[in-house]
Structure 1
Amino acid sequence: MLAAVTAATVGYAGPAAADTGKPAAGAVVTRAGLAPALVAGRGADLGAAEQEAENARSTGTVIGPDRTAYTLPSEASGRSAVKLTPGQYVEFTLPAAANAITVRYSIPDAPGGGGTTAPLDVAVNGRKHSTMTLTSQYSWLYNQYPFSNDPQAGLLHPDWWITECSCVPSATTPAPEIAKPFRPTHFYDEQRLLLGRTYKAGDTVRLTVPQGSKAAWTVIDLLDSELVAAPHVNLAAANVLAFGADPTGRRDSADAIDRAIAFARRVHLPVYLPPGTYQVNRHIVVDDVTIEGAGSWYTIVKGHQVDLATPAPDSSVHTGVGFYGKDAAAGGSRNVHLSGFAIEGDVRERIDTDQVNGIGGAMSDSVIEGLYIHHTKVGLWFDGPMKNLKVTRNVITDQIADGLNFHTGVTDSVVSHNLVRNTGDDGLAMWSEKTADARNTFDHNTVQSPVLANGIAIYGGTDNTVSGNLVADPVREGSAIHVGSRFGAEPFAGHLWITDNTTVRSGTYELNWKIGLGAIWFYALEKDIAADVRVTGDHFLDSTYNAVMVVADWPVKDLYEVTGLHFKDIRVDGTGTSVLSARAAGSADFENVDARNVGAVGVNNCGSFHFTPAGSEFSVTDLGGNDGGTTTGAWLAPWELPNTITCDDRPPVVAPPAPSAW
């Protein structure tokens, strides 16, 4: 079994500032915990400046780096953060003019679960500005899937394999012997604050835990600062206030918004939600309508999760705030435009049958832009068939499950320039269950810290593209980019382009298999993966284990294979183990793949584990220009080709240095 990956064994990008009593030498701005130059042109650029707390002046304690699941630093951006006790602070220097901040933090759960609240004082240039009320009511999950809010709960599935002891508890380990709380996770939340005026570059923002706080500790992960534009106004629109909506949030405004939508459709006007907080505790059904807010910092649509008296036909037992297109079976919705508001949900547990997503249903020929979606189950979950949807420039954070999922027959659609952070499942996914997703593109998105599963996952489909994305810090049971024949998905067909993406601090430890994954990994579980898959121009930085992994599950290793993989113009800067780990039958070719700081042998080729005299069942073709590698020589050495067995299931992990300019 591999040793736990800790601060001693994993590289860390970025210095930690000790408390010297002197201001930090300028503002240290990062993107996904990296120097911005290392990810130039990749990921979403939404105008916010990210600053990691461990790079700021502080009287607190830097925790991490650590990539071990179920720890506070492992779920932090950059795998490190700052822990404060009452009276301590962390102080950031603004790198540019700003009038708004977002604080990513964690505070303890209540002893019996359900969360707590705690204060955090905000001072600008040494003068107190306000006190934020932090909460852990939407964080801290425990136990086995689909997880519990109760830290003292017994095993949800007593007959499941428990990786911590390699046992079936009901057979060998009584449930009471499992340490509680069992598998704590999903520690972080974030909160936004408008500062009321614009502060200049060089001004300071200090976050202090006041004396007397009931929170034993407060962890600050990062601060995003930005200059928010003035509220958008549309006088030539159906204003929801004219239809009885309450901008104070005291009264439910769902019916008033429905009336505004009905009127707007009759007279062909958009609907406008002026600044305010609007209480909505159910789905707003949208079709052939434009709904504009004043901007996501100013217009907030916020609801409570509501228990249903009887389960809905789709098996939901709750409802809550959300904007939904009509079901695809009813024809779906078309010509929907949603922009410029926040959706604040109230989801604190994972119930997969619940329709408590920020955006849902089917929406063809539609645009969703400039939303902030927070505390829902899934930010945006689309059930097709549907086509021609554009999702752009949204912020999707602190979800219980996925950030966005194209489920079943979504075609000709684009998801671009979105920030997805702290999801409880895949950040962005295409899931071709029953009907293939086709001709879709995930482009220039930033996905950070999915605590379960993958940053970007493609489950089957035809002619799809993943391009220009930045994916950082996946924690467990997945990695940065995943191509999987799983979950009943239709087979891969046509082509899949994976182009010009950057991953960092990925290639996680798979807790069930007890092996390291790849920053990008291909998994043949239910079918062959036999499409034309081209991975071109991607950068795999500081991978905890492998840069690339190809795998078939052991029971099907002789049934399915992965063929037709093409890697070209790739940079691999740091792996704990190998550039390629092949644990399946199939084939791949490599051209101009440059690697450095590789911890183990460049290619770990196990094939399908038959170790025949003819060599591995996974054939590797060198098309030239594959340079660099390990202390043992070039990563794609001639003696490893085309199918030499070089199988080492669990090589020692060698932490690479922090990524640097190529």
Structure 2
Amino acid sequence: MMMRERLALSVLVLTVGSTACRDSEVSPSGSSAPPAAPTRGAKVAWVEYQAEAGQTNARREATAIEAEAVGREAVRLEKVGDSVAFTATKAANSIVVRLSIPDAPTGGGLDATLGLYVKGQRVQTLAVTSRYSWVYQGAGLDPSDDPARGEPHAFFDEVRARVDGFPAGTEVKLQKDDEDTAAFYVIDLVDLELVAPPLSKPSELLSITDYGATPDDGGDDGEAIQRALDAAVAEGWAGVWIPPGTFRVDAERLSLQGLQVRGAGMWHSTLQGRRSTLSCPGAGGCHFADFSLLGEGSLPDARAPAHGFHGELGEDTVIENVWVEHVEAGIWSGAEGSAHPTDGLVVKGSRFRNLTGQGVHLAHGTRNSVVEHSHFRNTGADALVIGAEGVAGEAAGHDNVLRHNSVQMSWRGSCFALLGGSGNTLEDSTCEGDTGG
């Protein structure tokens, strides 16, 4: 299969607060696997395949919806039997599909299905939705899901699934069958990845299941998880363990100080729900690793804070190998008027997708922090931001570094925004499909 090579902005070094500024350059960003240590951009674990470079019996399009696809092209499946196929260049056991299906006539989204074929057999029925897409801007107003506003955009969302492993050279196909009832499926891309087995529980952590959390039962586990966090503090444990499975958090947001929250891996352990957010207030730092945080906020919630990781975040907090979707900002550090600005935050190896706001916003005087080797796609504001909200002079954010990050298709903002402070550096990062503010 021929893979089309696209161009992406590649930032060398930009330091805000000094006179040093090297030129940006344009370099290729294609579908092949990244090198072990990429010159620019994030080191990622998947191989990306653009739909328009696949094998299809449907239409390759570059119209309104497709214009917000990565590369500004996509494939539209409309008739029963329409399909698009890809030949895996590496072994894989998981798939992410970036796609668009129609909105409901009065907004709010529709649910549908799509067939996933491997080696010519339909192996899964993917549950797809438009509940988190289709923004209507209209006359410069705040984003809404009301079609009466007009000027639709932000059409895309993603679905992810685990599958039985298959080797390089295997055909993977998406197909609209009789049971798949959406009027159309605009396929932008797929990511194929070989997911590692789940990690084992460290001995120094309490399991949230010991305090009543039950995976995959649909019940609200928020209170049980908070009990486990409180018990870890009272009994001197290092933190809590999220076993494989999906645990819902619907009623209350979770809060902790000086603890670890770890899971079996971002493909294995998931916190999901309208309150699946985490805060680490005060001066003590926290360590978050190896799980997914999947919100369920609809687009109007962009006016009410529902950030994935939020608050002061203390000193030397680490957020690594996490996957964040369907919240406002993936991470918003700092709190207005706080005596404990975020200091020494490290974010690495993480994925921020399909957000109503920023990917990572280092705000309220955040300093001495690093965001690296993380991937951002379909953010609803600037993907990576260093801000100066509520602080000035020496209290403003300083000496933060954004390096080796990759951004694709920010739907309402820029890839990078350095808005204040001093000594802040953006380097060795790529920007693909910046739509502007």
> TM-score normalised to the size of structure 2?
0.87
Q: Do 2:31 and 2:50's aligned partners in 1 also have CA atoms closer than 8 Å? A: no
Q: Does 1:272 align with 2:241?
A: yes
Change (3 A) 1:108 1:353: closer
Q: CA RMSD in A?
A: 1.9
Change (3 A) 1:31 1:248: farther
Q: Does 1:246 align with 2:214?
A: yes
Output aligned runs, 1:243-392, within 5 Å: 243-265=211-233, 266-281=235-250, 282-304=252-274, 320-326=275-281, 332-351=282-301, 353-363=303-313, 364-384=315-335, 385-392=341-348
Q: Does 1:473 align with 2:433?
A: yes
Q: Do 2:145 and 2:300's aligned partners in 1 also have CA atoms closer than 8 Å? A: no
Tell me what 1:211 maps to: 178
The match for 1:135 among 96, 107, 129 is 129
Q: Do 1:100 and 1:225's aligned partners in 2 also have CA atoms closer than 8 Å? A: yes
Q: Do 2:92 and 2:167's aligned partners in 1 also have CA atoms closer than 8 Å? A: yes
> How far off its partner does 1:78 sit?
1.0
Q: Do 1:295 and 1:341's aligned partners in 2 also have CA atoms closer than 8 Å? A: yes
Q: Does 1:463 align with 2:418?
A: no
Identity level (%): 32
Tell me what 1:41 maps to: 39
> How far off its partner does 1:432 sit?
1.0
> How far off its partner does 1:434 sit?
2.8
Q: Distance in 2 between matches of 1:353 and 1:82?
A: 33
Which consecutive residues of structure 1, in runs of 5 or more, have no partner in the other structure? 1-23, 154-181, 305-319, 327-331, 478-662
Change (3 A) 1:213 1:99: closer
Aligned residues: 399
Tell me what 1:639 maps to: none
Q: Distance in 2 between matches of 1:135 and 1:415?
A: 31
**SS of alignment partner, residue 411 of structure 1:** coil
Structure 2 counterpart of 1:301, one-letter code = L
Q: Do 1:95 and 1:201's aligned partners in 2 also have CA atoms closer than 8 Å? A: yes
Q: Distance in 1 between matches of 2:324 and 2:222?
A: 18
**SS of alignment partner, residue 327 of structure 2:** coil
Higher relative contact order (CA 8 A, sep 6+): 2
Change (3 A) 1:389 1:235: closer
Q: Distance in 2 between matches of 1:387 and 1:448?
A: 28
Deviations 1:405-435 (A, max 9, x none): 1111000000001111001111110111232
Q: Distance in 2 between matches of 1:352 and 1:91?
A: 36
Structure 1 counterpart of 2:228, one-letter code = A
Q: Do 1:350 and 1:401's aligned partners in 2 also have CA atoms closer than 8 Å? A: no
Q: Do 2:255 and 2:280's aligned partners in 1 also have CA atoms closer than 8 Å? A: yes
> How far off its partner does 1:375 sit?
0.5
Moved over 4 A (4+): 27-33, 36-40
**SS of alignment partner, residue 255 of structure 1:** helix
Tell me what 1:227 maps to: 194
> How far off its partner does 1:256 sit?
1.1
Structure 1 counterpart of 2:278, one-letter code = F
Q: Do 2:349 and 2:372's aligned partners in 1 also have CA atoms closer than 8 Å? A: yes
Q: Do 1:301 and 1:343's aligned partners in 2 also have CA atoms closer than 8 Å? A: yes
Q: Do 1:29 and 1:51's aligned partners in 2 also have CA atoms closer than 8 Å? A: no
> TM-score normalised to the size of structure 1?
0.58
> How far off its partner does 1:350 sit?
3.8
> How far off its partner does 1:293 sit?
0.7
Tell me what 1:633 maps to: none
Q: Distance in 2 between matches of 1:189 and 1:105?
A: 6
Structure 2 counterpart of 1:358, one-letter code = G
Structure 2 counterpart of 1:412, one-letter code = N
Q: Do 1:140 and 1:184's aligned partners in 2 also have CA atoms closer than 8 Å? A: yes
Q: Distance in 2 between matches of 1:34 and 1:288?
A: 39
Structure 2 counterpart of 1:244, one-letter code = G
**SS of alignment partner, residue 423 of structure 2:** strand
Q: Distance in 1 between matches of 2:357 and 2:220?
A: 27
Q: Distance in 2 between matches of 1:453 and 1:72?
A: 18
Which consecutive residues of structure 2, in runs of 5 or more, have no partner in the other structure? 9-27, 336-340
Tell me what 1:604 maps to: none
Deviations 1:282-321 (A, max 9, x none): 31102100011111111111113xxxxxxxxxxxxxxx22
**SS of alignment partner, residue 339 of structure 1:** strand
Tell me what 1:120 maps to: 114
Change (3 A) 1:242 1:30: farther
Structure 2 counterpart of 1:256, one-letter code = A
> How far off its partner does 1:269 sit?
2.7
Q: Distance in 2 between matches of 1:128 and 1:352?
A: 37
> How far off its partner does 1:148 sit?
1.4
> How far off its partner does 1:267 sit?
2.0
